[in-house]
Amino acid sequence: MKKSLTAIVATAAALTVALAGCSSGGGGGTSDDPNAEVSFWSFTGINAKDNVADYLEKMPDAKIKLTEVGSTTETATALTAALAGGKVPDLIMIQNDDLPKFVESSSNFLDLRTLGGDDIADDYLDWAASAATAEDGSVIGIPTDVGGLGFAYRADLFAEAGLPTEPDEVAAMWKDWPSFIAMGEKYTAATGMPFVDNIETSVFFSTVNQVSEKYYSPEGELVYDTNPQVKDAFDVAVDTYDAGISAGIAAWSSGWAPGRANGAFAVTVAPSWILSGIKTDAPDTAGDWRIASVPGVGGNWGGSVIAIPARAEHPEAAWQYIKTMLSAEGQEEHFAQSGTFPAATSAVASQAVLDYTDPFFGDSKIGEVMATSVQQFPSFYNGPDTTPINGALLNTLVEVESGNVTAGEAWKTALTTAKQAIGG
C-alpha cells in the first residue's frame, strides 16, 4: 500500500534516535516463544492498528507492540538505519517500491521458506511474490496486499454533464487514454468544471503502472530515459493538462480532501486501498460515487510485504502473525474491512472478493474491477532507484500544473531531475 509519493525523507540518524525508545526489537539473541511480544514497524495511514487488533482477537495470548513509523519512505529509511547496526523490529512492513534495495541485501532478513516451506510463495500472485524473492530464491517477505487500479467518479456530476453513469458504460466510453481525455473535454465543456483531480497520480501514475517495462529492463538495467512506454505515459499526462480538464489538485494536498467532497473534480484514481479515504473525506457524497476500470489494460499501484529481519528477537512469534493475517482467509477478511486488496491468489479469485460491493460507491462491482485489474497487470521489474525516479517524474508534472514548468519542457525537466535524484 502507498500513502504518499512526495513525503519528505527524514534522515536515517534522526529516525534511529526516534525509534530507539519505542522498539523492543533488537539483536541480543532470539526466542522461540510463539507468544513473546512482537515489535512491529508499519507505515501510517493503512489501519495497521485495526489489523493488529484483529490478530489479537484471533490469538488472545499473543502480544504485539506496533510502531507506526511515518510515511512509506520514512519507514524504509528507519529500517535501513536499523539494519546498519541499530535495533531491528521483529516484523517490518515494506512498501513495494522500496523493496528492491532490501531484496538486494537479502541476508539481512530471514528466508521465510525456512518457516513456511519451500513453496510458500506459490500462494500469492506471481509478480507480487517475485518482488520479494532474491536471486538465490530466498523469500524475504510475504505480500500483504496489491493495489488493484480503478477510477472513482461522481455519477451525479456525470449525469449533470449528460454523460453515462453506469460503470460498464463509463468504462466503455473511456476505453483508452485518448478516449478518457475526450470524455473529460465533454464534461468540462458541459459543466465548466475540471474533470480529473490531477495529471500526476490519476493519469501518469495510472498509465505508467500499466506497462510491461518501466524504469528498469527485465535484466535490471536503467531504461527510464529511453523506454518509450514511460515517455508515452508521461505524454498522456501532458496531453491531459493541455486539454484543460485537470483541476491541478495534487494528491494529499490541502485541497484534495475538500475536492472529493465539493465536486471540484469528478474523477480520481482509486487503487483499492484509497477507497476508505474517499469515504472519510466526503461522507455526504455517499451513493454518488461509482468505481469503474481504468482506461486501457489493468494495472497496479501499491502493495507491500511484511518481512522478519535476520536479527529479529522473536522470529517464531513474528511468523505466527504473518501466517495468520496474510493467509488467503486473512486477506479476504481484511479486504472486506479496509479495502486492502488481497495478494493471495485464491483470495483474488474467491467469490467473497469478486462479489464485494459497497453502497457508498453505488454498489459498484469493486471486487470484480480490482481483481480484473491485478489479473491483467503485465508487471515489470522494479529496481533500487524506482522510488526517486517516480518522485522526479511525478513532481515535474506537479510543477507543470503549478505553472513552473511548461508542457513543452516537461519531459526534459523530468529526466534531468530524475538523473539528479539517483546521482546520475
Q: What confidence tens digit (pLDDT) does each residue in 88-141 have?
A: 999 999 999 899 999 999 999 999 999 999 999 999 999 999 999 999 999 999
Cell 480490482 identifies what position?
A: 370
**12 has pLDDT over 90:** no
Pair 283, 209 in one domain = yes
Say if 4 falls within a structural domain: no
> What pLDDT, in 10s, does the model give residues 329-367?
999 988 888 788 999 999 999 999 999 999 999 999 999
Pair 332, 392 in one domain = no
Pair 272, 387 in one domain = yes
Q: Average pLDDT in the 181-191 region? A: 98
Pair 63, 195 in one domain = no
Q: How far apart are the two ends of the chain, measured CA to CA in Å? A: 28
Say if 192 falls within a structural domain: yes
Say if 280 falls within a structural domain: yes
Pair 220, 265 in one domain = yes
The CA angle 260-265-268, to the nearest 5 degrees, is 70
Pair 293, 203 in one domain = yes
Pair 194, 252 in one domain = yes
On whether the CB atoms of residues 237 and 204 are closer than 8 A, the answer is: yes
pLDDT at 307: 98
Say if 2 falls within a structural domain: no
Percent of the chain with pLDDT over 70: 92
CATH of the domain at 141: 3.40.190.10
Pair 310, 371 in one domain = no
pLDDT at 63: 96
pTM over 0.85: yes
Residue where a domain terminates, one of 338, 354, 370: 354
**305 has pLDDT over 80:** yes
What mean pLDDT, rounded, does the chain reach? 91
**Domain range for 102:** 12-147+302-354
pLDDT at 353: 95
Domain count, the chain: 2
Q: Average pLDDT in the 255-265 region? A: 97
